[in-house]
Amino acid sequence: MTYADVKDLKPTDFKRCCGVKPQTFVAMLEILQQHEQQKMKPGRAAALSLADQLLLTLQYWREYRTYFHLSLSWGVSEATVCRTVKRVEQALIKAQCFHLPGKKKLRTADHQFAVVVVDASEMPVERPQKNSGAVTAARKSGTRSKHSS
């Protein structure tokens, strides 16, 4: 499935597929295009377009599929998938427009959290039953000590 297959979906279906809204996808794609223009590195053209590279990375993040499975789906090598994900991640990290606010900013913000959800469910642990018939006790006189010959 390439970007050409997904770009005409309804916004809700696009988000279900990619994990981001179409507007966010376009903003990410613009950042990648700017990054590629700045790089201006000569060499062989990439096997996937920038939009497909971004879609591949979003699939990796959203679905937690392995590089191997993504390489089979996209028809490229596993190493290409790895390089693509790393390259897209680095470009988006450098842009800093998709960063979340840090802890200090969240603490000083005027946000009041109304609900805190904690998963504290207990699960029973299966342990062996203690009974005297299952264990054979050894006598002290029957064990050898290191000092006796």
Q: Which residues of 59-87 are buried (b: 16+ CB within 10 A; e: fewer)?
A: bbeeeebebeebbeebebeeebbeebbeb
For 128, the 3-state DSSP assignment is: coil
Q: What is the pLDDT of residues 96-116, one digit of tens each?
A: 887 777 777 767 767 676 777
Q: Please list the pLDDT of the chain residue by residue as tens digits (149 residues).
A: 788 888 889 989 999 988 899 999 999 999 999 988 887 677 788 889 999 999 999 999 999 899 999 999 999 999 999 999 999 999 998 888 877 777 777 677 676 767 777 777 777 777 777 776 655 566 656 666 666 55
- The set of residues, in sequence order, having a beta carbon less than 8 Å from that of 33 and lying 6+ positions away, is 50
The model's pTM: 0.66
23-39 pLDDT per residue, tens: 999 999 999 999 888 87
Q: Please, which residues have CB within 8 angstroms of residue 19's CB and are 6 or more apart in sequence?
A: 58, 61, 62
Question: What does the alpha-carbon distance between residue 48 and residue 54 come to, in Å, rounded to a whole number?
Answer: 10
Query: Taking a C-beta distance cutoff of 8 angstroms, is the pair 99, 31 a contact?
Result: no
